[in-house]
Structure 1
Amino acid sequence: MSFHSVGSVDEFPDPSSTLVEVDDRAVALIHAAGHFYAIDDVCTHDGGPLSDGPIDAEAKTIACPRHGAKFDLKSGAALTMPATKPTVAHEVKVEDGQVLVRLSD
């Protein structure tokens, strides 16, 4: 799979979480502590939108706004209950001021 541009770096403040669409897939693009992360915008507990949740830049986590399940920004791993399954993490890179995302399977 190829990389898709989701916008320019200056469109995403640090810290922020933004819902972006990549090939018809809802992805939460997170900019935290100078790094970009991309994970599926779905809590594996009840389908809540992770892009609406609070970011902990230091711990590199995002929490579901519905029930507080925390996910690792880099791997998508479920770190706290009630979520027990990971969400999908995607590769992100910055080239020429553009944020690019490549979807994982």
Structure 2
Amino acid sequence: MQLVEVCTLDDVPVGSGRAFTVGGRRIAIFRVAEHDVYALDDLCSHDEASLSEGDLDTEELCVECPMHGSLFDLRTGKPRTLPAFAPVATYRSEVRDNRVFVEFSD
């Protein structure tokens, strides 16, 4: 496993998400609090919509797919509602010196 720098905290305002391409993977970084971020695959498992463009619920720690409304848990990637039934991959993330790092396997 290796930590890869993805962005700075300033790139993702609190209460929002943004997609980045890292090592050929499109991932979404969601910032739910000042130094609290989550990383998961950006594409919905149901219909390949960009999850980073969905509505973020910082209290429930989930994001709503903008296409069909499935809710995905930011911690596990599992859908909480239909029509999605398959999870999306999640990645361990951490913040160091105002920079966001995500852990990927080689």
The aligned residue for residue 5 of structure 1 is 5
Deviation >3 Å, runs of 4+: none
Per-residue Cα deviation, 1:3-62 (whole angstroms, up to 9, x for no partner): 111122222210110001111100010001331000001111111111110001100000
Give the number of aligned pairs. Answer: 105
Normalised TM-score (structure 1)? 0.93
Partner SS state of residue 65, structure 1: coil
Q: 1:80 to 1:36 in 2, by over 3 A?
A: same
Partner SS state of residue 84, structure 1: coil
Query: 1:7-86 maps to which residues of 2 (within 5 A)?
Result: 7-34=7-34, 35-86=36-87
Partner SS state of residue 52, structure 2: helix
Q: Partner letter of residue 100 of structure 1?
A: F
Normalised TM-score (structure 2)? 0.92
CA RMSD of aligned residues (A): 1.4
**What is the percentage of aligned positions where both structures have the same residue?**
37
The gaps in structure 2 that reach 5 residues or longer are: none
The gaps in structure 1 that reach 5 residues or longer are: none
